[in-house]
Amino acid sequence: MVPGPGAFAHARDLARETLESWNWPPERVDVVVLLVSELVTNAHRHAGTDAWLQLHPTPDGVRLTVHDASTRQPARRTPDLEAAVGGFGLHILERLASRWGVETNADGKRIWALVPAATTSPG
């Protein structure tokens, strides 16, 4: 994907089409699409490089990975509640992913998130 507005829509569409082809529940598809949108937006905004999206099925869900060419680590920001223009991405990621992390190497970084296919009921 090339950074820019078209990349965001393409990434969301790719995620939605892939998960629908895997027969995922629609409400869980929406969760992954939101996370894809946040991670691709962050790659564009903060890395300013091309970004690549990968979706891999896991035994209980999906691992989504966004790779960019920057080694700069993501930083938690205080959300801008008045303008609502930034600082929400990592907070959303922490809330919706069961696990997430960052892997850095010579060609950039990969931010990954594990998203379960089903929500867990409070016990």
Q: What is the CATH number of the domain that holds 89?
A: 3.30.565.10
Which of helix, strand or coil describes residue 112? strand
What is the pLDDT, as a whole number, of residue 79? 57
What is the pLDDT, as a whole number, of residue 82? 63
The answer as to whether 122 is a domain residue is no
What is the pLDDT, as a whole number, of residue 122? 45
Sites in the chain below the pLDDT cut of 70: 1-5, 75-88, 120-123
* Residue pLDDT, tens place only, 25-45: 999 999 999 999 888 888 887
- Structure tokens of 44? 């564009």
**Average model confidence (pLDDT) across the chain:** 84
The answer as to whether 50 is a domain residue is yes
The answer to whether the CB of 15 falls within 8 A of the CB of 36 is yes
The answer as to whether 26 is a domain residue is yes
Structural domain boundaries, residue 41: 5-116
Q: How many domains does the structure of the chain reveal? A: 1
